[in-house]
Structure 1
Amino acid sequence: VLSARAPAMAVQVPLWHHYLQAIRSRGAPRAQDHQRAENVLFTVLEHVHARDPRFLVDYSHDLEAFQFTLRSSEDPLDMEVPLWVDAEALLIEELGVPETGDGPASCRLGVPREVPGLERWMTDDVFSASEDSTTCCGHIVPGKVLHVLKDLLVAAIVHCKHHSLITPGSLNAASLREEGLCLSLLVSSGWRMIRFNIVPVVRRKHRVPALEGAQLMPCFPEGSLKRIISQEVPLVPASAQHWRVSTDYLLTRLLGALGSLQGHRLDSLSILDRVNHESWRDGGQGPGLTFGHLKMVLLWASVLFPAPEDWAELQGATYRLLVVLLCCLATKNLPHFLYPERNLLQDSGLDLNALYQRVERFASQPEAFLRIHVTHLGRSPPPRIGNGIKALLQLPASDPTYWATAYFDVLLDKFQVFNIQDKDRISAMQSIFRKTKALGGDES
């Protein structure tokens, strides 16, 4: 029986917990770093608001701060700047889903004719008039909004520095010169610099079909998706002319929902992000996977492994993410969780073959990567897998039906961490295993 190898490596489990404890010990200092940097930014944004009340300050970033404590990587953080506008009064003009179906539909925000209270958004600096519509007199233009916000940020930073409201060196605005769909600032937390992407947002109730479909997934706590769907969602710049729903916002809320469940889902994400930062990206010096990539892997792993017992043990939970990640790297396709037609590895500029080799080395002999103290030194156990695993991992590229629990259970068994007692799942896994043997997609 395949699952007979499942209990292997039990003696090594404490090493995973030592590694997790080291990450957690940095959590409180990271939270303080985030708070200090955020306070600097709030000071600047308060003066932006004082100069132009159309731009508000949102102090509720608890979920983003919590996410920052999970991370070891230094990817930029989003800071939303809500616009003071009656968003429900605006007209959403959908431009249709992208032809590739790989993302949310873009839209324009129309200002209806003769609706009081919207006059402040009909000035030339943020508005483009339209003569050919009977329902709206023009549109709020994201490119213009970004330009106004950029000028306000520069003026606010100069004011805050001149009046010693922020300490010298606490903020680097050099990247504000760059053109893009957000405004980037480097903010000091005391000893580390944190990059924030300032994003103007319009918050309103907006249907997200991809999220509604996710309600059918049993991996999320009951009612959690309904709460997310019922809340306002931010519309962010999609181009100089168009807006779109912020998928990052939705994914962060989904991650928060998973965090309320028992088990090691978020712990496994923290471990892989740390290994990614230290080993796969050479201490953050090289290109590679982002926290966003790994977050997407966790969301897929949670769907593919919905049983609580999948996440009850730390080592096994981490391998749930690893087998999904290895499959994505081997097939060169990491589907977006809400828009699966979108491949997050396409046009990433990453050397996916080299990255695959690094991740496979960790999955085969993780102990060498998890040692953080001289007392952890010692001989590593033999590799968990032999040659040929990549062929097995590439099967979903030619047959998408392999993207299912039974196939990934075969991969877990290969790495000796299946550990599932459910007879139906064992039977389904063994059936897929026999199919892969017949195809020659296995090395043993």
Structure 2
Amino acid sequence: MAVQVSLWHHYLQAIRSRGAARTQDYQRAENVLLVVLERVHELDPRFLVDYSRDLEAFQFALRSSEDPVRMEVPLWVDAEVLLVEEAGAAEAGDGPASCRLGVPREGANLEQWTAKDVSSISSEGSRTCCSHIVPSKVLRVLKDLLVAAIVHCKHQSLIAPGSLNADSLREEELHLSLLVSSGWRTVCFHVVPVVRRRHRVPILEGAQLTHGFPEGSLKRIVSQEMALVPAGAQHWRVSTDYLLTRLLGALGSFPGHRLDSLSILDRVNHESWRDGGQSPGLTFGHLKTVLLWAAVLFPEPEDWAELQGAVYRLLVVLLCCLATRNLPDFLHPERNLLVDAGLDLNALYQCVEHFASQPEPSLRIHVTHLGRSPPPRLGSGVKALLQLPASNPAYWATAYFDVLLDKVGAAG
């Protein structure tokens, strides 16, 4: 056991040794983009610059993967006076319903949001709205502004040569992709226009999550504004990315190995399960959701005191989700994050199961760490247990995962 523990901690130490450099690379790349966005704001005051991104560098340092980072560009509008028109109830598993944002006829200081470049005129029969803010038009305006801002910043030497090129700007359906160079690392940003607005998150208002997070943290987090982001050419939807990042940060205030276990699995996912990022697979967002559920299912401090045990708490939750083909969204559990993700869940399950059964080969970062691996830890009984929540959701509870974790521990 001493050899196993040393291997886990050695692997974690290797990840941590790269954390400071990743943070610096990210902050340099972010600073370049913020300079460009400041110019965007000068050209069009309707687009603001969000400097309150204190947890983004922290989250980037936890990762080994190079998944895109979202950069929100808030719109200068009093969102509380906009009329939110639901586009219809969400189907089961689809998450929050999409909506349209109407500009009221009697609203003050909203003339700039009735302009044709960002809005469409409402039907003549509408007594309340004079127009709707259209996401596709907002994205188009923002793209043109970014191109102009990049050219200006390069000509004025406000950004380093080679750090950013307008040629890398790609207009996707729901965001703008932009590559920013920071030393030897290139960070891909998804630039997204957002409307900040108060929005209820019922699951955070109950008591079911309280024990998994620091006292008072949920109350502070739920009071934050949430972002409405593009959901299509005409519609917006509520994004929970901001809240999830803050929930992750709240877990970091606890002693133990919650965040360490996430870093280890993300590194194994990137290097082993996704072949160094060359193959599709789980994202950091998927694994972050697994950790948030594990924090609720295993709320006691002693659950996270030992590194290997902390990783296995994430593994049993992840394996169960892959076996039942359902990873519930943490804030909207009716939504399955594995649906439409384009993943080969059978192959992915085999990778995760192999690691859980014999983790040692994936934890060796140098040839000198080679050695004999213990026998597989997962038997047929454990594999059968993993399937239970598919037929009965009642098994999605702490007692069930405690039993599953005990079986895995006994097998080892």
Cα distance in 2 between the residues matched to 1:326 and 1:101: 20
Cα distance in 2 between the residues matched to 1:15 and 1:385: 20
> Match of 1:231, SS?
coil
- Give the alignment partner of residue 258 of structure 2, picking from 259, 265, 269: 265
Cα distance in 2 between the residues matched to 1:116 and 1:409: 56
1:223 aligns to what?
A: 216
Cα distance in 1 between the residues matched to 2:402 and 2:49: 47
Deviation at 1:167, TM superposition (A): 2.9
- Give yes or no for contact 1:44–1:156 (8 Å, CA) kept in 2: yes
The correspondence of residues 83-122 of structure 1 with structure 2, limited to 5 A, is 83-100=75-92, 102-122=94-114
- Give yes or no for contact 1:71–1:273 (8 Å, CA) kept in 2: yes
Deviation at 1:417, TM superposition (A): 7.0
> Match of 1:218, SS?
helix
> What letter is aligned with 1:92?
V
Cα distance in 1 between the residues matched to 2:167 and 2:89: 35
1:422 aligns to what?
A: none
- Give the alignment partner of residue 166 of structure 1, picking from 129, 151, 159: 159
- Give yes or no for contact 2:168–2:177 (8 Å, CA) kept in 1: yes
The correspondence of residues 306-345 of structure 1 with structure 2, limited to 5 A, is 306-345=299-338
**Residues 407 and 70 of structure 1: CA distance in aligned 2, closer, same or farther (over 3 Å):** same
- Give yes or no for contact 2:328–2:334 (8 Å, CA) kept in 1: yes
- Give yes or no for contact 1:102–1:340 (8 Å, CA) kept in 2: no
Normalising to structure 2: TM-score of the pair?
A: 0.95
Deviation at 1:374, TM superposition (A): 4.2
The question of 1:179 aligning with 2:196 is answered no
- Give the alignment partner of residue 383 of structure 1, picking from 370, 373, 376: 376
The question of 1:410 aligning with 2:403 is answered yes
The question of 1:12 aligning with 2:4 is answered yes
- Give the alignment partner of residue 117 of structure 2, picking from 109, 120, 125: 125
**Residues 154 and 215 of structure 1: CA distance in aligned 2, closer, same or farther (over 3 Å):** farther
Cα distance in 1 between the residues matched to 2:160 and 2:276: 29
- Give yes or no for contact 2:201–2:331 (8 Å, CA) kept in 1: no
Deviates more, 1:68-77 or 1:158-167: 158-167
Cα distance in 2 between the residues matched to 1:417 and 1:258: 28
- Give yes or no for contact 1:412–1:418 (8 Å, CA) kept in 2: no
Deviates more, 1:132-141 or 1:352-361: 132-141
- Give the alignment partner of residue 188 of structure 2, picking from 190, 195, 202: 195
2:146 aligns to what?
A: 153
Cα distance in 2 between the residues matched to 1:394 and 1:114: 56
- Give yes or no for contact 1:48–1:153 (8 Å, CA) kept in 2: yes
What root-mean-square deviation, in Å, do the aligned CA atoms of Structure 1 and Structure 2 show? Answer: 1.9
> What letter is aligned with 2:396?
W
> What letter is aligned with 2:40?
V
**Residues 334 and 251 of structure 1: CA distance in aligned 2, closer, same or farther (over 3 Å):** same
> Match of 1:415, SS?
helix
How many residues are paired up? 411
Cα distance in 2 between the residues matched to 1:29 and 1:314: 24
Deviation at 1:296, TM superposition (A): 0.8
- Give yes or no for contact 2:227–2:240 (8 Å, CA) kept in 1: no
Deviation at 1:108, TM superposition (A): 1.9
- Give the alignment partner of residue 294 of structure 1, picking from 248, 269, 287: 287
1:355 aligns to what?
A: 348
Deviation at 1:92, TM superposition (A): 2.2
1:3 aligns to what?
A: none
- Give yes or no for contact 1:204–1:233 (8 Å, CA) kept in 2: yes
1:24 aligns to what?
A: 16
Cα distance in 2 between the residues matched to 1:387 and 1:230: 46
Percent identical among aligned pairs is 81
Structure 1 residues without counterparts, runs of 5 or longer: 1-8, 420-444
Cα distance in 2 between the residues matched to 1:292 and 1:47: 31
**Residues 180 and 173 of structure 1: CA distance in aligned 2, closer, same or farther (over 3 Å):** farther
> Match of 2:313, SS?
helix
Cα distance in 1 between the residues matched to 2:321 and 2:251: 21
Once the two structures are superposed, residues 337-376 of structure 1 have per-residue CA deviations (whole angstroms, 9 ceiling, x without a partner) of 1222222112222221111111111111112211223442
> Match of 2:162, SS?
coil
- Give yes or no for contact 1:181–1:239 (8 Å, CA) kept in 2: yes
Deviation at 1:301, TM superposition (A): 0.8
- Give yes or no for contact 1:215–1:226 (8 Å, CA) kept in 2: no
> Match of 1:53, SS?
coil
The correspondence of residues 45-84 of structure 1 with structure 2, limited to 5 A, is 45-84=37-76
The question of 1:240 aligning with 2:233 is answered yes
**Residues 134 and 248 of structure 1: CA distance in aligned 2, closer, same or farther (over 3 Å):** same
Cα distance in 1 between the residues matched to 2:192 and 2:8: 38
> Match of 1:285, SS?
coil
**Residues 28 and 401 of structure 1: CA distance in aligned 2, closer, same or farther (over 3 Å):** same
- Give yes or no for contact 1:173–1:184 (8 Å, CA) kept in 2: no
Cα distance in 2 between the residues matched to 1:180 and 1:33: 28
> What letter is aligned with 1:281?
R
Cα distance in 1 between the residues matched to 2:114 and 2:186: 38
Cα distance in 2 between the residues matched to 1:126 and 1:401: 47
> What letter is aligned with 1:256?
G
> What letter is aligned with 2:31?
N
> What letter is aligned with 2:72?
E
> Match of 2:374, SS?
coil
- Give yes or no for contact 2:174–2:230 (8 Å, CA) kept in 1: yes
Cα distance in 2 between the residues matched to 1:395 and 1:215: 22
Cα distance in 2 between the residues matched to 1:270 and 1:145: 36
Deviates more, 1:61-70 or 1:338-347: 338-347
Normalising to structure 1: TM-score of the pair?
A: 0.88
Deviation at 1:201, TM superposition (A): 0.8
The question of 1:38 aligning with 2:30 is answered yes
Cα distance in 2 between the residues matched to 1:197 and 1:204: 21
**Residues 46 and 313 of structure 1: CA distance in aligned 2, closer, same or farther (over 3 Å):** same
